[in-house]
Amino acid sequence: MLIAGNWKMYKGQAETAEFCIELKRSLADVEAVDVAVCPPFPSLAVGVQILAGTDIAVAAQNVHWEEEGAFTGEVSAPMLRELGVYGAIVGHSERRQLFGETDEGVGRRTRAALDAGLSVIACVGETEEERERRETEDVLRRQLSVLEAEDNLVIAYEPVWAIGTGKTATPEIAEEAHEFIKGLLDVPVLYGGSVKPENAEELLSLPAVDGALVGGASLDVESFASICLSASRS
């Protein structure tokens, strides 16, 4: 069971330090769950430093497919490895929708990160319009076609209509999507989409759900720790 907190563009170095110190204390006795936090790039190093020696991993929110070059604003997998970063999120719906990332680019970023020894959380999921048109399986099949099952790859199913909206997929919708994904790619599948302490236990108890990619609820240390505790009981 993996619980990863995607902080998006929140928390500079001071806030990251404060959060990680408290998270380390809150999860000191928690077992049977893997935990990762994903700060923005400037806060990665302080997260790695404070969480060193714990079982809490630090991952980036994106990674480029080239090792170096004229790619202004991008960060390579070797740079992340040098920082002591454990892995990276790739293909988050916000990257796809707001910054034009493509399935092909997601595949290349994933391949580069895995080859460099990073773990990857690759995100897939349909929009509300695609679900209403009954295209969910076609969308997932297309997004997964650029990926290959590997030990360090995890998929996050994040229905776009449930991200930051307060909407959450019903257990039936989540289980069905996770089973479909696992039928195409034999890897762990996290659920992402308005996961919070109130619904975490129900979602994480589903047979095909292997953890959660938590957004807004991961910004509050008590909230995130509560979700991690729910996972340890699932």
Q: What is the largest CA-CA distance in the chain?
A: 48
Report which of 77, 111, 125, 89 is spatially closest to residue 2, judged by C-alpha positions.
89
CA distance 132 to 115: 37
- Whether 158 is a known active-site residue: answer yes
- Whether 101 is a known active-site residue: answer no
The one-letter code for the residue type at 81 is: R
The angle, 0 to 180 degrees and rounded to 10, between the axes of the packed helices 197-204 and 221-233 is 20
Residue 6: CB partners within 8 Å, gap ≥ 6?
A: 38, 61, 89, 92, 192, 213, 214, 215, 218
Report which of 50, 39, 44 is spatially closest to residue 7, judged by C-alpha positions.
39
- Cα dihedral 203/205/208/212 (nearest 10): 50
Burial tier of 74 (Cβ tally within 10 Å: 0-12, 13-18, 19+): middle
Of 94, 101, 126, 158, which is the active-site residue? Answer: 158
Of 64, 92, 101, 126, which is the active-site residue? Answer: 92
What Å distances lie between residue 156 and 13, 26, 95, 149, 159, CA to CA?
27, 25, 14, 13, 10
Mind telling me the catalytic residues? 92, 158
